[in-house]
Amino acid sequence: MNRPGPRLGGPGGPHMAVGPKPKNAKRTFFRLISYMGKYKTYFIFVIIGMILSAAAGVTANYFIKPLINDYIAPMIGQQNPDYLPLIKQLLIMATIFLIGVAATYLSNRLAINISAGVLYKIRTDMYEKMQKLPIKFFDTRTHGEIMSRYTNDANSLSQMISMSIPQLISSLLSVVGVFGLMLYLSWALTLIVIGMLGLYFLVLKFVGGQSAKYFRMQQKDLGSVNGYLEEMIEGQKVVKVFSYEDKVLNEFTKRNNELFGAASKANTFANILMPIMGNLSYLHYAITAAVGAILTINGQLDVGTVGAFLQSTRQFSQPLTQISTQINSVLMALAGAERIFEVMDAEPENDDGVVTLVNINIAEDGSISECNERTGIWAWKYPHSNGSITYTRLQGHVVFENITFGYDENKTVLKNVSLYAKTGQKIAFVGSTGAGKTTITNLINRFYDVPDGKIRYDGININKIKKADLRRSLAMVLQDTHLFTGTVKDNIRYGKLDATDEDIVEAAKIANADTFIRHLSNGYDTVLSGDGSNLSQGQRQLLSIARAAVADPPVLILDEATSSVDTRTELLIEKGMDKLMEGRTVFVIAHRLSTVRNSDAIMVLESGEIIERGNHEDLISQQGKYYQLYTGMFELD
């Protein structure tokens, strides 16, 4: 993952952190500007505030010249000098400083508001787009990689808008303003400044380059340490079972030492940059003071001019360092913004379907009419090109016709698969891992569209059915159960958002989850968190089955639905599921062959092809692959 570089160490560390550079900084920057359109008035005031702040600093520096020449120098040697004019000038200077402070506060405060607003809009757009992305997008990326867009990349972007860009503009204005003032005060002393600039840039290039190199190494080693930690924490039971603690510790120590070495060198160079730049500024100040004194003695400059010039040199080197720092931060943030925009620009899930799922009434003569109220009777509404509309009652009849499919163009997962499932039939798929069982259910859901062949649902090509309506007619129970933060009741209701409490209890009873739910601390109102970590794996699976039961769909897909429960619980679930499956089409994927014995048809898959099909008795009599699997001659992977 292209995360921004770590920001460790002392004062120099944050300034020199490095990360990946953007591929097209200009395009990304202008795209970000488009998000600031709503805040253009704020941004104008930010610029005005920074201009006032820089102008106040330059003006205050220039005030030193008349202050010395016109108010302090004339009082030298006077026995009773009048301090009132000097005090008035000092008050004017103080007022200028206060204006600068107020302008800086205003610009910073508005920049924070702009940053918060822009990040709110970007996160909203990204999350909204993410809901439209196909399953393939998530299958080809890790969860951490996607989450880094919302955390690391978004935080870098926020810091760029609220801090880096304002500081960069402010530093540029200060450098230009102070340089202009110095040129106005003395071109001779300004030549010294130009000479020192070359020295500043050489130091920044060498020290900054070394720091950047080691920060990249640190970033790589930090990722190695974090990845190893995450893996070992997740596998802690395995580590202890096999007494692997010493080996794990040695490996961690090795990786941690590599991180220590890279971090030490990175922060060493980063932390010496500011002292070097500070000492160079002192050298610059001393040389300027000496040359200024000589020019004053020769009558070429006055004391006030030298004083104002010296004060300007103190404010010249610091913005230069900040400019190099903020440019690096901006580039890192733009790289993060590119990663965010990659999500926004990803190809959304294609849906050319026109067939929708609607509620219907059936008259005594058998005619179908669409209605708005929920009747519990559904039909496919098919608008044809000639303007006519036909209604096909939802029954759950599924047919595969010569399906060939692969997730990758170079690897075929299913090869010329044909099958059918009549309404109310239970179809089981068995076979080793990678045979294509789950792929078949992914195609029924249109998680992936088939390039070759057709899948018909109640006689309609599923590519013509809108995906949302298609998926509303299905319910899935997956092997990997996911529970959301909320009550038990809320998690079951996820299958049907308008389900009543009575519906939820009935669904739980069907899944045989009602008993254990009532024994929880607050029953159905018990709050689950951490993906249901306070429940056993079997209990979590029971809730997942109850969630499917409350949806009351015509088609059920059970992908290892009982893999995480014991044999006794499995038998109880099957009794409940038998009731749930009445009149419904059911697709079952199972490793336990005992769970598919009562299926109407069993499909044995191998290398993406159906090599055997029939009911349990037929397949046993054939004494083929299913017979070998059932009798234990071969085992499912």
pLDDT class for 240, splitting at 50, 70, 90? Answer: confident
Q: Rounded distance, CA 51 to CA 44, Å?
A: 11
pLDDT at 87: 86
Provide the H-helix boundaries in 466-536.
467-472, 488-493, 501-510, 514-518
Overall number of domains in the chain: 3
Residues 459, 336 share a domain = no
Residues 85, 26 share a domain = yes
- What is the amino acid identity at position 456? R
pLDDT at 456: 92
Q: Rounded distance, CA 457 to CA 612, Å?
A: 23
Tell me: pLDDT of 444 over 60: yes
Mean pLDDT, range 404-414, rounded to an integer = 85
pLDDT at 4: 36
Residues 363, 238 share a domain = no
Tell me: pLDDT of 263 over 50: yes
Looking at 95-180, which runs of residues are DSSP E strands? Answer: none
Please count the other Cβ atoms lying within 10 Å of the Cβ belonging to residue 239.
15
Q: pLDDT of 297-308, one tens digit each? A: 888 888 888 888
Determine the number of helices (DSSP H) and then strands (DSSP E) in the chain.
22, 16
Kindly tell me the burial class for residue 16, based on how many C-beta atoms sit within 10 Å of its own C-beta (0-12, 13-18, 19 or more): buried
Which domain covers residue 380, as residue numbers? 356-393
Q: Who contacts 535 (Cβ-Cβ below 8 Å, separation ≥6)? A: 483, 528, 543
Residues 137, 20 share a domain = yes
pLDDT at 16: 41
pTM attached to this predicted model:
0.71
The 3-state secondary structure of 300-349 reads: CCCHHHHHHHHHHHHCCHHHHHHHHHHHHHHHHHHHHHHHHHHHHHCCCC
pLDDT at 457: 92
Q: Among 282-296, 322-336, 532-546, name the most confident range.
A: 282-296
The lowest-confidence range among 24-38, 107-121, 214-228, 445-459 is 214-228
pLDDT at 11: 33
Q: pLDDT of 586-622, one tens digit each? A: 888 876 676 788 888 998 888 888 898 888 888 888 8
Radius of gyration of the chain (CA): 36
Q: Rounded distance, CA 48 to CA 95, Å?
A: 18
Better-predicted residue by pLDDT, 63 or 636: 63
90 part of a folded domain? yes
Mean pLDDT, range 500-519, rounded to an integer = 88
The torsion angles phi and psi of 383, rounded to 5 degrees, stand at -85, 125
Mean pLDDT, range 182-194, rounded to an integer = 86
366 part of a folded domain? yes
Q: Which of 598, 491, 485 is nearest to 548 (CA)?
A: 491
pLDDT at 332: 74
273 part of a folded domain? yes
Tell me: pLDDT of 246 over 60: yes
Q: pLDDT of 330-386, one tens digit each? A: 877 787 888 888 888 888 888 888 999 888 888 877 788 888 887 778 889 999 888
Helix, strand, or coil (residue 610): strand
Q: Who contacts 548 (Cβ-Cβ below 8 Å, separation ≥6)? A: 475, 476, 477, 495, 556, 580
7 part of a folded domain? no
Tell me: pLDDT of 408 over 50: yes
Residues 407, 481 share a domain = yes
Mean pLDDT, range 250-270, rounded to an integer = 85
Tell me: pLDDT of 38 over 60: yes
Residues 470, 363 share a domain = no
Q: Which of 356, 376, 379 is nearest to 368 (CA)?
A: 379
Residues 243, 195 share a domain = yes
pLDDT at 223: 66
pLDDT at 461: 92
Q: Which of 490, 488, 481 is nearest to 537 (CA)?
A: 481
Q: Rounded distance, CA 289 to CA 543, Å?
A: 80
Tell me: pLDDT of 14 over 50: no
pLDDT at 441: 85
Partner residues linked to 400 by β-bridges: 419, 455
| Residue 613, domain CATH | 3.40.50.300
- What is the amino acid identity at position 519? H
Tell me: pLDDT of 42 over 80: yes
Better-predicted residue by pLDDT, 19 or 374: 374
Better-predicted residue by pLDDT, 478 or 180: 180
Tell me: pLDDT of 454 over 80: yes
Q: Rounded distance, CA 451 to CA 454, Å?
A: 9
Residues 422, 377 share a domain = no
pLDDT class for 1, splitting at 50, 70, 90? Answer: very low
350 part of a folded domain? no
Partner residues linked to 455 by β-bridges: 400
1 part of a folded domain? no
| Residue 293, domain CATH | 1.20.1560.10
Residues 100, 81 share a domain = yes
Quote the percentage of the chain above a pLDDT of 70.
90
pLDDT at 219: 65
pLDDT at 2: 37
Residue-by-residue DSSP string for 574-605: HHHHHHHTTTSEEEEE-S-GGGGTT-SEEEEE
pLDDT class for 324, splitting at 50, 70, 90? Answer: low
303 part of a folded domain? yes
Q: Rounded distance, CA 341 to CA 335, Å?
A: 10
Mean pLDDT of the chain: 81
Mean pLDDT, range 546-550, rounded to an integer = 87
Residues 382, 449 share a domain = no
pLDDT class for 576, splitting at 50, 70, 90? Answer: low
Residue 221, sorted as left (phi over 0), alpha (psi -120 to 50) or beta, turns out to be alpha
Mean pLDDT, range 454-483, rounded to an integer = 87
Tell me: pLDDT of 130 over 80: yes
Residues 492, 522 share a domain = yes
Residues 387, 255 share a domain = no
Distance in Å from the first CA to the final CA of the chain: 32
Tell me: pLDDT of 3 over 50: no
Tell me: pLDDT of 633 over 60: no
Last residue of a domain, one of 312, 345, 378: 345
107 part of a folded domain? yes
* Pairing relationship of beta strands 356-362 and 378-383 according to DSSP bridges: antiparallel
